[in-house]
Chains A and B, each alone.
Chain A
Amino acid sequence: MAEPLLEVAGVRAGYGDAVVIDDIGFSLGQGESLAVLGRNGMGKTTLILTLMGATRLMGGQMSLRGTRFERLPSNRRVALGLGWAPQERGIFASLTVEENLLVAARPGPWNATRLLDMFPSLAQRRRNFGNQLSGGEQQMLAIARALMTNPALLLLDEPLEGLAPIIIEELTATIRRLADEGVGFILVEQHTQLALGLARRTIILERGRIVFEGDSRGLIDDPALLVRFVGLRGERSLITQP
């Protein structure tokens, strides 16, 4: 196998004195996708935050394309190739849509023109300020902004949360295109079926530890684990097949 894109080993992290995730280890190849599942509070977002450098790291190593980054500050990790669309979206309220994109710009194939083409509703609101956008638009902007950094690996934290079904369809299609373009991503999502449909591999977190790691296909075919760890009883799926 070619050199892995992301390698994580023995990571232990949390906030203050509290350990939230422990003994986290996995790897991701170039252009691969990974879904992170688990109930609320099990450490999914903490894992993403730890990759970005926003938590207290108490042990372990992380590297991107062979370069160790657990000691790097967040902005250097972005330069290294990590992009992040946070759960709370984090749109800069005092900046316009255009400015939100421009401040994150880094050299590479993704640029403002291309992204505004990809998200026409954002293009329409390009001069609106960040706090004048709807939830769905903010979500799109968050993803677009993360892409502006031309990442090798994109971290998506609940990008579909609280959105109308039609927007979900649009965004899901966008995420699928990422895979086609060779951008690797890690996806944290409560919409379990969607996540499984989008990412080739999945890990499940329970109480801060990985309790399952494998192909998403396996979980779709045998949902017993899902029921056990994610509580899928009675959830309707919006998309059936990848």
Chain B
Amino acid sequence: MSDILQTWAALTFNGISFGMILFLISSGLTVTLGVMRLVNLAHCGFAMIGGYFAMAAVDYLGFGLLASLPVAIVGTMIVAAVIERTLFRWVYGVTELSQILMTIGLAFVMVALCNIIFGPLLHALPIPGWLTGNLDVAGVVVSTYRCFLIVVAGLIAIGIWYVVEGTDFGARLRASVDNPRMARCAGINVRRIFSFTFTVGCGLAAVGGVLGSQMLPIEPFYALNYLILVLIVVATGGLGSLKGSFTAALIIGVIDTWGRYILPSGGGFVMYAIVLVVLLARPQGLFARA
């Protein structure tokens, strides 16, 4: 395969794997915004917390990457459940701007605590031996780990899709997103659905944080650095639309990767410009809910 084609194929591949990580992290926020209209700017912080849990498991318990994943997920979900039951009680009735400020405050607290506990250095979680190196996929040489990422994230995405579209719980969730008031008046306990979904969403973010640490290294400012990226995915995909954030995540992942390759110091510019255009054309996002 010619060099240029190889480069572009590899770039696209990397872009897709990056997009998958973005999707994992953003999926929770999409549903949170969709169901409870809650702007949670601390969401990226949960991905970060997941990363730190995994790091602790690796450093102090000697776990490998995959073994640390359940530790990260459970740990993050516990933290999420506690925060949801306490702090977020205060956040439901206030204006959007106030929600933004309060959750940013929470993000600051997360950043500061992580720095105090773990220090300011960047960490990437170690990849197990069998996932290092490269693979030849249809003539294109790509990193094995990124293949793994795409497969795992893809499976999770399919799992999410199945739960949401094919189960009773998923039907109740979709009803709550469509029309929360009517859902309540049809007997659905929207509150409980939200708590559960929020917690699971944070767990998914943790998976994204752990598996994506090669691309998004774990450090105290993680919660803020990648926030814009996540927000962009959610906003362009359409609030409450998982299909939308999946599509947007992939597109943004690919565009960002290509952009940084073409214009190394200004690659982000291209992405923001495209986001601007999309949001202007369709302010509710690509796949907004009815």
List chain A positions with a Cβ less than 8 A from chain B.
52-54, 73-75, 77-79, 84, 86, 90, 92-95, 99-100, 102-104, 106, 130-131, 145-146, 149
Given A93-B290, A94-B290, A131-B290, are A104 and B186 neighbors across the interface (CB < 8 Å)?
A: yes
**Bound complex: CA A92 to CA B190 (Å):** 14
List chain B positions with a Cβ less than 8 A from chain A.
168, 171-172, 174-175, 177-179, 181-191, 289-290
Beyond contacts A95-B174, A99-B174, A103-B183: 9 other A-B pairs, Cβ-Cβ < 8 A, are A75-B185, A92-B182, A93-B289, A94-B290, A95-B171, A103-B175, A103-B188, A145-B186, A149-B187
- Does the CB pair A106–B187 fall under 8 Å? yes
- Does the CB pair A92–B184 fall under 8 Å? no
Provide 21 A-B residue pairs closer than 8 Å at the C-beta atoms, listed in order of the A residue: A52-B185, A53-B184, A74-B181, A75-B184, A77-B185, A84-B185, A84-B186, A86-B182, A90-B182, A93-B290, A94-B174, A94-B175, A94-B289, A94-B290, A99-B174, A102-B171, A103-B168, A103-B171, A103-B188, A145-B186, A146-B186
**Bound complex: CA A77 to CA B183 (Å):** 12
**Bound complex: CA A75 to CA B189 (Å):** 6
**Bound complex: CA A20 to CA B188 (Å):** 27
B contact residues around A52 at 8 Å (CB): 185
Give A74 Cβ to nearest chain B Cβ, in Å.
4
- Does the CB pair B171–A99 fall under 8 Å? yes
A contact residues around B185 at 8 Å (CB): 52-54, 74-75, 77-78, 84, 86, 90
**Bound complex: CA A99 to CA B178 (Å):** 13
**Bound complex: CA A188 to CA B191 (Å):** 29
- Does the CB pair B175–A54 fall under 8 Å? no
- Does the CB pair B181–A54 fall under 8 Å? yes
B contact residues around A93 at 8 Å (CB): 178, 289-290
Partner of B179, one of A77, A92, A104: A92
- Does the CB pair B289–A103 fall under 8 Å? no
- Does the CB pair B289–A75 fall under 8 Å? no
Which interface residue of B168, B182, B184 has the most chain A CB atoms within 10 A? B182
Give A188 Cβ to nearest chain B Cβ, in Å.
15
**Bound complex: CA A77 to CA B168 (Å):** 21
**Bound complex: CA A94 to CA B179 (Å):** 10
- Does the CB pair A92–B178 fall under 8 Å? yes
Give A211 Cβ to nearest chain B Cβ, in Å.
28
- Does the CB pair B187–A92 fall under 8 Å? no
- Does the CB pair A90–B189 fall under 8 Å? no
**Bound complex: CA A145 to CA B183 (Å):** 11
**Bound complex: CA A90 to CA B181 (Å):** 9
Closest to A129 in B: B290
Closest to B290 in A: A93
Closest to B186 in A: A104
- Does the CB pair B189–A92 fall under 8 Å? no
B contact residues around A53 at 8 Å (CB): 184-185
- Does the CB pair B174–A90 fall under 8 Å? no
Which interface residue of B168, B182, B185 has the most chain A CB atoms within 10 A? B185
B contact residues around A100 at 8 Å (CB): 175
Give B220 Cβ to nearest chain A Cβ, in Å.
39
Closest to B175 in A: A92
Give A51 Cβ to nearest chain B Cβ, in Å.
10
**Bound complex: CA A86 to CA B168 (Å):** 23
A contact residues around B289 at 8 Å (CB): 93-94
Give B88 Cβ to nearest chain A Cβ, in Å.
17
A contact residues around B168 at 8 Å (CB): 102-103
B contact residues around A90 at 8 Å (CB): 179, 181-182, 185
**Bound complex: CA A115 to CA B181 (Å):** 23
Given A93-B290, A94-B290, are A74 and B184 neighbors across the interface (CB < 8 Å)?
A: yes
A contact residues around B178 at 8 Å (CB): 92-95, 130
Given A78-B186, A79-B187, are A92 and B174 neighbors across the interface (CB < 8 Å)?
A: yes
A contact residues around B186 at 8 Å (CB): 78, 84, 103-104, 145-146, 149
A contact residues around B187 at 8 Å (CB): 75, 78-79, 104, 106, 149
